[in-house]
Chain A
């Protein structure tokens, strides 16, 4: 499994765009990049997934450069309710595979 590295914590303010970068230097050719969000006292929630270039949904955007050795989760105009831990995961397709969540990035959005 590809090892991922992301910042332990980040601070932001309401209304700002937040970019969380994840490094995965040994990503395999068939690996997908997935991001989860976990609010306090809740289970993780799937946010977005991608293989290359850019993916956008109603929650976030995911930017993946051509070499795929890193990825950036972009949250537009964050609010206080976006305060959560964000996990970057890298694994081959198919749910019959272990997901390693790591420590994630604690994003704190301040008023």
Chain B
């Protein structure tokens, strides 16, 4: 299996622009998670889905962030408009319901200038 795939790996954008991050979970996994990692705040869970349905989005920082999962093999995290404080590494992870064994993608490093 190719593992969790994220794109792009790096994104540099200007403040105010829309940013879309993409994730393809491991085939057969029914849980998908979006995390954000910064030096200051560590690794934070933003939102997670089960069978394509958002279960908990309490970690989404504000309305500028939105996430969708139109089907079992694709999810997006969108930031509109982006701000410099959104600069971070965004990880996508998936699992099949096991005891906390989540499989992480390589991450997208986002820089907002």
A44–B45 Cα gap in the complex (Å)? 13
User: Is B25 an interface residue, CB under 8 A from the partner?
Assistant: no
Question: Which chain A residues border B103 with CB–CB below 8 Å?
Answer: 46
Are A96 and B101 in contact (CB-based, < 8 A)?
no
Chain A interfacial residues counted at CB < 8 A = 24
Name the distance in Å between B88's Cβ and chain A's nearest Cβ.
Answer: 13
Question: Which chain B residues border A99 with CB–CB below 8 Å?
Answer: 45, 100, 102
Q: How large is the interface on B (under 10, 10 to 19, 20 to 34, 35 or more residues)?
A: 20 to 34
Are A95 and B97 in contact (CB-based, < 8 A)?
yes
A98–B96 Cα gap in the complex (Å)? 15
Name the distance in Å between A107's Cβ and chain B's nearest Cβ.
Answer: 16
User: Is A103 an interface residue, CB under 8 A from the partner?
Assistant: yes
Interface SS majority for chain A: loop
Binds B, one of A17-25, A66-74, A75-83, A86-94: A86-94
Are A43 and B105 in contact (CB-based, < 8 A)?
yes
- In addition to A87-B43, A98-B48, A98-B56, 15 A-B residue pairs with Cβ atoms within 8 Å of each other are A43-B4, A43-B91, A43-B106, A43-B107, A44-B43, A46-B101, A93-B99, A93-B100, A95-B31, A95-B97, A95-B102, A96-B48, A96-B50, A96-B55, A101-B42
In the assembled complex, 10 residue pairs joining A and B whose CB atoms fall closer than 8 Å, in A order, are A32-B100, A43-B105, A44-B102, A45-B104, A95-B100, A96-B31, A96-B48, A98-B56, A99-B45, A100-B45
